[in-house]
Amino acid sequence: MASTQDAPGAHGSAKVLVASNRGPVSYQVGDDGSLTSRRGGGGVVSGLSAIGPDAGALWVCSALSDGDREAVRRGIVGAGPEAPPQRGGGGRRAGEDGVLMLDIPADVHADAYNGIANSVLWFVHHMLYQTPLEPVFDAEFRRQWASYEAYNRAFAEALAGRAAPGAAVLVQDYHLTLVPGMLRELRPDLRIGHFSHTPWAPPEYFRMLPDDIAEQVLRGMLGADRLGFLTRRWADAFEACCARFADGLGDTRIGVHGLGADADFLRERSHRTDVTERMAALRDEIGSAPDGTARRTIVRVDRTELSKNIVRGLLSYRQLLDDHPEWRERVVHVAFAYPSRQDLAVYRDYTAEVQRLADELNSQYGTPDWTPVVLHVKDDFARSLAAYRLADVALVNPIRDGMNLVAKEMPLVSDEGCALVLSREAGAHEELGEDAITVNPYDVVGTARALHEALSVGPEERAERSKRLAAAATALPPAQWFLDQLHALEEQPGPSA
């Protein structure tokens, strides 16, 4: 992909740039000092593969771990936000595999990522605060906000230095809300897009932010030519915030792009040997009902994320076992809750509560032959796919979620088709609601009722519904999702390059 060695003039040579906090690759340092890398997936990765290696693409991301920082130091993934070396000049090699990792000082990154992005903006957009005690916008918040500005500026400067004249820049998510405005000032010639992978808060909740901060976030975003959202609901909420707090949208256009599941990849990947091996192991854990038939499964797969509502999912399952004792010993709740954001105490506490409640359920209801909750907390993609294939019921009950791809993936991958219990607050509900069993995520009794209904759906209806869910879930595959945004940005009337 793009090298910055041949950058013409003061600008870079990259024609398509992506900016995100987490990049497509991460590094670990081994005991012997060697570096190993791991590549991630997702919509943007698929999109960049679709435009091909000659498209002049550069992905700007942040170093997140010691391994990443070491990779930057060794010149593997770029040097930093300084201007690119001129033709024939010295300097460290940067971005030669299409990734430029920014070595932002660890304390600045921690303030921006943990302090502001994940503890403030994430909480605002997912409406997660327990408001009698939080948020508190004090002097410490202001100090962290200055780091968030510095971190956004590092991205804006790196992009400005690497982008070819008139290039398209696709900025991702709530970590980088200030980048479009900052970049617009540095490089008015660029086409700038921003995509929100989260919900957007309604004005009444958004206004919790201090007025100047709320305005700065909106103005930062409005520096883009085009803003993308996962659903119409989140786009409308953003527009409503702009109408209330920022004199409207100005020249910025809004687009809705509902990221879909990657059917080809998932179908192929979920039939590999490692997945079938894990299916056998899971079947052993699940066991058989007293009459010898296979037990039914209620499956959930999430990061252990506050907004995913795993605790109320467990409470709903307990309510199901109380309200419908006929399901005891005939069903297992397979819950995969993978570690996330463990730097934050509230996430560590939540993780502990998930574990405690699962243990409590197992000791209260379990029998020598039946473990009611099979909880796994170690991330294992092949095992997640194995659980998808075995699912009778998919439980997706977030408090609020930008999209939720699990809701789209499970009906697609499940061997027999699964019934989907889906929160009305998940973005995916806009596309899947018709064939799902809808729940209010706060209503534990209602969710227990929905689980009973889902377990009771006959095999034919279940297969039919699952087929329709899979069709809706794959309407916009990841590569197309990315290309649609890129083309809309390139085609939009904008500044001349």
- Length of the chain, in residues: 497
Whether residue 410 contacts residue 297, with contact meaning beta carbons closer than 8 Å, is answered with no
Cα–Cα distance between 82 and 92 in angstroms, integer? 11
Question: Which single residue is written with the structure tokens 């000049």?
Answer: 89
434: three-class secondary structure by DSSP: helix
In the 8-state DSSP scheme, what is residue 477? -
Whether residue 386 contacts residue 415, with contact meaning beta carbons closer than 8 Å, is answered with no
* Nearest 10 degrees: Cα torsion 430, 191, 237, 45: 40
CB of 26 to ligand F6P, least distance (A): 11
Which positions from 354 through 383 interact with ligand F6P, judged by CB under 6 A? none
Q: Which of 370/481 has CB closer to ligand F6P?
A: 481
- One of 223, 402, 411, 427 touching ligand F6P (CB under 6 A): 402
Query: Number of helices and strands (H, E) in the chain?
Result: 19, 15
Q: Which of 308/452 has CB closer to ligand F6P?
A: 308
- Examine residue 492 and tell whether it contacts ligand F6P (CB under 6 A): no
How many residues form the binding site for ligand F6P (CB under 6 A)? 7
CB of 346 to ligand F6P, least distance (A): 14
Which positions from 4 through 23 interact with ligand F6P, judged by CB under 6 A? 22
Structure-token pair, residue 268: 């192929």
Whether residue 78 contacts residue 72, with contact meaning beta carbons closer than 8 Å, is answered with yes
Cα–Cα distance between 383 and 165 in angstroms, integer? 46
- One of 173, 262, 302, 409 touching ligand F6P (CB under 6 A): 173
Q: Which of 22/207 has CB closer to ligand F6P?
A: 22
- Examine residue 191 and tell whether it contacts ligand F6P (CB under 6 A): no
Question: Which single residue is written with the structure tokens 């409640």?
Answer: 357
CB of 340 to ligand F6P, least distance (A): 6
CB of 20 to ligand F6P, least distance (A): 8
- Examine residue 348 and tell whether it contacts ligand F6P (CB under 6 A): no
Q: Which of 40/188 has CB closer to ligand F6P?
A: 40
- Examine residue 114 and tell whether it contacts ligand F6P (CB under 6 A): no
CB of 457 to ligand F6P, least distance (A): 30
- Examine residue 304 and tell whether it contacts ligand F6P (CB under 6 A): no
What region, left, alpha or beta, does residue 417 occupy, with left being phi > 0 and alpha being psi -120 to 50 degrees? left
- Examine residue 340 and tell whether it contacts ligand F6P (CB under 6 A): yes
- Examine residue 119 and tell whether it contacts ligand F6P (CB under 6 A): no
Q: Which of 22/348 has CB closer to ligand F6P?
A: 22
- Examine residue 109 and tell whether it contacts ligand F6P (CB under 6 A): no
Whether residue 305 contacts residue 348, with contact meaning beta carbons closer than 8 Å, is answered with no
- For 38, counting Cβ atoms within 10 Å of its Cβ (0-12 exposed, 13-18 middle, 19+ buried), the class is exposed
Question: Which single residue is written with the structure tokens 């052993």?
Answer: 284
CB of 174 to ligand F6P, least distance (A): 7
- One of 26, 144, 198, 423 touching ligand F6P (CB under 6 A): 198
- Examine residue 462 and tell whether it contacts ligand F6P (CB under 6 A): no
| Residue 325 CB partners (closer than 8 Å, separation 6+) | none
Give the helix/strand (H/E) hosting 227. Answer: strand 226-229
Q: Which of 341/400 has CB closer to ligand F6P?
A: 341
Residues of the shown chain interacting with ligand F6P in the complex, contacts defined by CB under 6 A: 22, 173, 197-198, 340-341, 402
